[in-house]
Amino acid sequence: MKNSEKLLALISSRGWKVATLAEKADIKYTTLKSLIDRDLRNITVAQALSISQALDVKVSDFIQEAAPMTDENSYLNPSNGFKIKEAKSVYETTPSNKRSLSILNYYGQISAGELTSINSIEKEDVIELPKSMLGKYADRPGAFMMRVNGDSMDKIIPNNSYVVCIPVEEHELHDNDIVIYSYNNESSMKRFSVRGDYVVFSPESNNPKYFDFAISKDTESEVEILAKVILYAVTLG
């Protein structure tokens, strides 16, 4: 069964139309229709995840399993999105230790705006991404993905984008890293820097309501850096 046929079957099983899924996944109808017409070729990470969330299924339920990255046959290429393998899945013949995939926990939304309770963040799914996308962090323990909720970083990372993050030690933090931090048991995503005696978390937003949050190094223990962002995916159009 083709990828588009799998997706259409999932849509039909819920009594939906393509337009219904487009609305629930926050994807333009014409964009989704074009993706289906092309058997989901060149679908982006963000689009695939939005569709899987809307349908409450895994990406692999409507897209063939990922093959190891090559020039001719890649599951996900940062420059052009998914390329679906049309031949028989190599998972049937490739030993597991040669699969070039990283497995990440997928959590709920992270606030890129007002602080949000860290207790509300729970694991929702498991995501597979090619190790080539994560570079030197491909085998980093604890890497995870979240969906951005808010516009405090929208000059760089728009609302509803997806971010891949890794837990970090203090010595791994650098000025201008984008981090997820917790303050008084609430969390947010901002750009990190050290300015004199202060640790500063700065927005990069088109919305003027956001401002720097600075905390003295003397009370720095009240802030916990949970992770830093190493990759993000944005839906275009």
Topology of the domain covering 102-233: Umud Fragment, subunit A (2.10.109)
Prediction pTM value: 0.56
76-134 pLDDT, tens digit each = 333 333 322 222 222 233 333 335 777 787 877 777 766 665 555 566 677 888 888 88
CA dihedral 125, 126, 130, 136 (to 10 degrees): 110
pLDDT of the residue at 154: 92
pLDDT at 41: 80
Per-residue model confidence (pLDDT) at position 25? 87
Give CA–CA dist 89/216, Å, rounded: 54
Strand (E) positions, the chain?
76-77, 81-82, 101-111, 116-117, 123-130, 144-149, 162-166, 178-183, 186-195, 198-202, 213-216, 223-233
Distances (CA, A) of 30 to 18, 33, 92, 190, 237: 10, 5, 35, 33, 10
> Pick from 172, 176, 203, 169: which is nearest to 189 by CA?
203
pLDDT of residue 50: 83
**Per-domain boundaries in the chain:** 3-98, 102-233
In this chain, the answer to whether the domains covering 3-98 and 102-233 adopt an identical fold is no
Q: Check: CB of residue 54 under 8 Å from CB of residue 61.
A: no
* Predicted pLDDT of residue 153: 92
Report the relative pairing of strands 213-216 and 198-202 from DSSP bridges: antiparallel
Rounded-to-integer distance, Cα 225 and Cα 167, Å: 8
Q: CA nearest 214: which of 235, 190, 186?
A: 190
**Would strands 178-183 and 186-195 be described as parallel, antiparallel, or unpaired?**
antiparallel
CATH ID of 3-98, from 3.40.190.10, 3.30.300.30, 1.10.260.40, 3.20.20.190: 1.10.260.40
Q: How far apart are CA 106 and CA 8, in angstroms?
A: 25
pLDDT for residue 204 = 93
Write out residues in the chain with pLDDT < 50, as ranges. 65-98
